[in-house]
Each structure stands twice: as C-alpha cells, then as structure tokens.
Copies of this chain bind each other. A is one copy, B any other.
Amino acid sequence: MPATMEDVARLAGVSTATVSRVLNNPELVSDEACRRVNEAIRQLDYRVNLAARSLRTNQTRTVAVVLPTIADPVINQMVEAIEDVAITAGYTLLLCSTRGDAAREHAYIELLTQRTVADGVLYISPRADPDTVLTLAQGTMPLVLCNYLVENPAVPCLLMDHISSAYQATAHLLGLGHRRIALLNLAAPHYYPARMRLDGYLRAHAEAGVIPDPALRVEIDRPTYANDDWRGAIEALLVQPDRPGAIVAFNDEVALEVYAVCREHGLRIPDDLSVTGCDDILSSRHVDPPLTTVRVPARVQGERAMRLLLKRLTRPHQPVPPRTLIPVELVVRGSTGPPAG
C-alpha cells in the first residue's frame, strides 16, 4: 500500500534511478529534477523500504547490544551513551539482554551471526558461556567487547579498570589502619571484572606489606541483580568473633545489603565496620552514612565502545587498539573510617 520508488519516479517524471540518486547522492542530480522528486516524495509521503535497501546494500544500519541485564545502573548509562552515539551516526539499536541465561545468549548469537539483522555487535559484560563469545569473536561480524577480554587482536576490548577500583578502595582502607579487610566478589569464573578486582585487592595488600586472610574473600556465584544470595554470605561474614573491620563490596548494591545487615545486628558504620562500594549509584549518596565508593565513567565507556564499533564498520581493515583500560576514581564519603579500638 505505501508508495514505492516507482510511484515517486512516475509522479516526478523521472526514472527510479534518479529518485534513488536524489536520496543518496543528490549532487549527481540537476536542481530541477531534485526539486520535482522531493515534491513527489512529499506528496506521496514516500519512505524507503529498508528491507529492500538492506538486501541490495548488505547493510542494516543497526547494531546489536548484547548485555546481561538492563536493570543495572552502570549498564543503563552505557546503553544510553551508546544510543546517543549510534543515533547521530544514523544507527539503531537492537536490544539483546541475556539475563545470564546461556540458552538465550546462544540464541541471540545465532541470530546475530546471520549478519542480516545487524551490522555489528557490542557485547557488554558477558557472564554466561565464554565459548559463545569466542564463536562470535572468530566470526566475520564486527565486534566490540566491554568488560571482557579475548586474545584476538581483531576484537577491541574496553575494560573498566577494576584492578584500580579494588586497589584504590583497599589502599584507602589500609591507609586508615585496617588490616582485616574482606572482599565480597563474584565467583563467576569468566566474569572478567571479578578477576580484576581480586587482583587489585591483592596488589594493594602486597604494596602495604600486609598478608590478606583468605577467609575474608567471599565469592558468590550469582550476579548482583539477583541479590537474595548475598544476604546470607554477608551475615556469615559479619556474625562471627573474627569478623573483618572493613569490607570492599563488589558494587554499591551489595554494599547497601551490608548496610541492612549491619542495621539488623547493631553494627555501626563506620565505627564498627568500614564499607566501600563500586559504581556510585544514586542511592549511595542518599544512604546514611553516605557510601565511600568508586565512580566508574559508564557513559565514557559506552561512547568509546560505540565509536570504536563505528570505526570498524566504516573501515573494517584499519587496525584498532585491542585493549583499553578506562580509569576510575575513588570517592571518599562517610562509610569508611579508622578501625575501632
């Protein structure tokens, strides 16, 4: 029912080739013809058929964003930044949230490798099956990875510097005099940021000449957005004679869970326990005391990732930095202080 290019051509008294040129290379067309075509387009309310165009040009002007969840403040911001960049470049976003479900992740990858639904893929914080990531990375689909690392120079990886994040938080606590510092981390073996955090935690201890107690490293296998599991782990850690004097939490949401446990058990922050988070979500400023945390430039990461992908799309053979670390910054607020006694 909608008008086709042929209708426009007929009305304007030109060929479809000319109409197409008006749309894509107006400089090749005489002003007069251009005018008539545009007038016809207006009259008929014509729109290109993107399916036809895609078929012919092998381009979709769409990029897929694969992520574990959108219910995460950091990912939220990244996606919004990605969209901002995409939209100005004329691209549209396909949303693929895997929810940590391997089957779903697999299905999405299967869909995407068709290459007829998106021109490129932005893969954020993969958690499920590392093999699917590798499959994708070895395919022909332009790919940019965020917070994951594959050893393939054709695949740029953008990593939030979580080594530094844990390092800064731990060093801050050590500097305050703490010696028993717990690390609440994610155990998912292929979740890169978790490995990085452990690294930073250990490095800070090493530099300070302190030997960390392995009993104070708690790892949970579940991502934080399914955070019922955290409660028990936190209680086990805090309700024992030998409890730590400080906690480096995986992120702000986990840190807030620590707040809740403390309130229940009559522990005061920061007098009895210092706590640090990560991400600097909105409520970390609103809680009492305000949370000492690490601010991560999520928008920056999203923008860079999308720009990199665009570069790969327009110049597929130009080399790309295989690995980028994005610096983060500790924000000291009220939840950390010197140890009791």
Residues of B within 8 A of A50 (CB): 114, 116-117
Most B CB within 10 A of own CB, among A54, A140, A256, A285 = A54
Q: Judge whether A253 is part of the interface by a CB distance below 8 angstroms.
A: yes
Nearest CB on B from A234, distance (A):
12
Question: Whole-angstrom distance from the CB of A293 to the nearest CB of chain B?
Answer: 14
Least CB distance, A251 to chain B, in whole angstroms: 12
A41 to chain B, nearest CB (A): 13
What is the distance, in angstroms, from A214's C-beta to the closest C-beta of chain B?
29
Chain B residues with CB under 8 Å of A114's CB are 47-50
A320 within 8 A of B: no
Q: Whole-angstrom distance from the CB of A305 to the nearest CB of chain B? A: 15
Query: In the bound complex, do residue B83 and residue A97 qualify as a contact, i.e. CB atoms below 8 Å apart?
Result: yes
Contact stretch, chosen from A67-75, A151-159, A180-188: A67-75
Which of A2, A51, A114, A287 has the most CB atoms of chain B within a 10 A radius of its CB? Answer: A51
Q: Are B87 and A104 in contact (CB under 8 A)?
A: yes
A55 touches B49 (CB 8 A): yes
Minimum Cβ distance to chain B for residue A5 (Å): 13
Residues in B with CB closer than 8 Å to A285 are: 260
Whether, in the assembled complex, A325 has its beta carbon less than 8 Å from a beta carbon of chain B, the answer is no
CA distance A99 to B80 in the complex (A): 9
Contact A55/B47 with A71-B80, A95-B83, A256-B283 known, Cβ cut-off 8 Å: no
Smallest CB-CB separation from A56: which chain B residue? B51
- A210 proximity list for chain B (CB < 8 A): none
CA gap between A305 and B198 in the complex, in Å: 43
Q: Would A76 and B80 be within 8 Å (CB), given that A47-B116, A283-B256, A286-B260 are in contact?
A: no
18 contacts between A and B (CB under 8 A): A48-B114, A49-B55, A49-B114, A50-B117, A52-B116, A65-B95, A70-B76, A71-B73, A71-B77, A71-B80, A80-B97, A87-B104, A92-B94, A95-B95, A227-B282, A256-B283, A263-B288, A287-B288
- 4 extra interface residue pairs, beta carbon distance < 8 Å, beyond A263-B288, A286-B287, A287-B288: A47-B116, A227-B282, A257-B286, A288-B288
